[in-house]
Homo-oligomer: A and B are copies of this chain.
């Protein structure tokens, strides 16, 4: 791991592009929550809307983005109501252990840093 613009190796982009990819699929208020929610078991649109207090506009936008990034899949169910199912893809599922590590750091952080400030 190198700050290559400092060390002059010239491979800065190939180093940061994968990092930016991950950040893109996890940042924002909702993506991590939705990934975890869907990760438990596949979900329908209104199921997620009720779960979290998210507006349909935002939910629709977030789901489209995650689908575009290849993190979730969208399947229309063939029932009388035109329900739609969202599930994690393989690469999307591989985000779960990363989010678990987030949790670990975050809990450590809250103990070490936030609590000592009070």
A18 and chain B: residue at smallest CB distance: B106
Q: Mark A5-43, 1 if CB is under 8 A from B, else 0.
A: 111000000011111111100110000110011011000
Total interface residues in chain A, CB < 8 Å: 48
Given contacts A18-B103, A32-B19, A102-B19, contact A5 B52 (CB under 8 A): yes
A6 in contact with B98 (CB, 8 Å): no
Give min CB distance, A37 to chain B, whole Å.
4
Q: Mark A65-104, 1 if CB is under 8 A from B, else 0.
A: 0000110000000000000000000110011101111110
Residues of B within 8 A of A45 (CB): none
A106 contacts which chain B residues (CB < 8 A)?
Answer: 17-22
Known: A3-B40, A5-B51. A91 touches B109 (CB 8 A): yes
